[in-house]
Chain A
């Protein structure tokens, strides 16, 4: 009785193709995929492509994006919330920030932060307006979205 290996070798010598069993490798790949899917956490912020953020070399890439109230400011001074709905007045910004802050507190986030995505060509007047409105809504921590290197 020849062993399985020997039989395979004999068959190979006779001209038959040797096939590699891929099933265990695919098992392992799926196992790794599921592990990384479970262990990783996603950073979810809706990025408005119309905003070209400024450059700041000392900015740091966020590890945790939870507890953020996102406000976008276009170069022409248009202010929008995360869902691209316009916030025309200072009162509307305060209302939006206050509502989001309360929602976050209900979800166990003690301190909400304002994530300000202002275009690099925005007038500072608009930035000040949003920061002031957020302060009136009780949010004093402000994060400015910026690029560490210039976008090509």
Chain B
């Protein structure tokens, strides 16, 4: 009897953690399987021209006007370029923009694009044009929008 009491007094009391870890892993696996990750939102920038000019004598080349009509067709100088609003690719516009950006680079001037989007055109199509402007081979951030309606 005396020996058993001595053993009880000497050994440290321990908590069995294994079941807790089992439950934790079970919950972890449940949330890993059921959860979906939201993609990160990214930035597509544009700079509107301001009236406060810094006075630098920069050669300006002709501005390019890109029209987006209510059907989502992209028109440049009365020529319809990309007509499928369901796709995010605008190869013909991209080609023209690259040529325009290159000619601006050669004349050492700042390219500028005017987007004339129809009021009823969808936001995605407007972004498609901006996306083409932000392409590596184009890189035009100087953009202005026309067709504001007075309220």
B32 contact set on A, CB distance < 8 A: none
Report the Cα distance A61→B119, complex, angstroms: 29
- One of A62, A124, A148 near B119 (C-beta < 8 A): A124
CB interface residues, A 43-58, toward B, < 8 Å: 45, 47, 53-58
Report the Cα distance A54→B148, complex, angstroms: 22
Most chain B beta carbons < 10 A, residue from A45, A89, A144, A149:
A144
Report the Cα distance A18→B117, complex, angstroms: 74
The answer to whether A120 and B39 have CB atoms under 8 Å apart is no
CB interface residues, B 88-140, toward A, < 8 Å: 88, 117-128, 130-131, 134-136
State whether the Cβ of A102 lies closer than 8 Å to any Cβ in chain B. Answer: no
A115 to chain B, nearest CB (A): 8
CB interface residues, A 116-149, toward B, < 8 Å: 117-125, 127-129, 131-132, 135, 140-149
State whether the Cβ of A10 lies closer than 8 Å to any Cβ in chain B. Answer: no
Contact with A along B23-47 (1 / 0, CB 8 A): 0000000000000101111111111
B22 contact set on A, CB distance < 8 A: none
**Nearest A-chain residue to B50, judged by Cβ:** A140
- On whether A59 and B48 interact (CB within 8 A), knowing A54-B123, A118-B123, A120-B124, the answer reads no
The answer to whether B43 and A60 have CB atoms under 8 Å apart is yes
The answer to whether B119 and A145 have CB atoms under 8 Å apart is no
State whether the Cβ of B79 lies closer than 8 Å to any Cβ in chain A. Answer: no
The answer to whether A122 and B122 have CB atoms under 8 Å apart is yes
- On whether A120 and B127 interact (CB within 8 A), knowing A89-B151, A129-B149, A146-B41, the answer reads yes
State whether the Cβ of A151 lies closer than 8 Å to any Cβ in chain B. Answer: yes
- On whether A148 and B45 interact (CB within 8 A), knowing A54-B124, A56-B131, A127-B123, the answer reads no
Most chain A beta carbons < 10 A, residue from B43, B120, B149, B151:
B43
State whether the Cβ of B68 lies closer than 8 Å to any Cβ in chain A. Answer: yes
List residues of B whose CB falls within 8 A of some A CB: 36, 38-50, 68, 88, 117-128, 130-131, 134-136, 145, 147-149, 151
Given contacts A120-B123, A144-B45, 6 further A-B contacts (CB under 8 A): A62-B43, A121-B122, A124-B123, A129-B151, A131-B145, A145-B43
List residues of A whose CB falls within 8 A of some B CB: 45, 47, 53-62, 73, 89-90, 115, 117-125, 127-129, 131-132, 135, 140-149, 151-152
A-B contacts, 23 of them at CB < 8 A, read: A54-B123, A54-B128, A57-B131, A59-B44, A59-B131, A59-B134, A62-B43, A120-B123, A123-B123, A124-B119, A124-B126, A127-B123, A128-B145, A131-B145, A142-B46, A142-B48, A143-B43, A143-B44, A143-B46, A145-B42, A147-B39, A148-B40, A149-B39
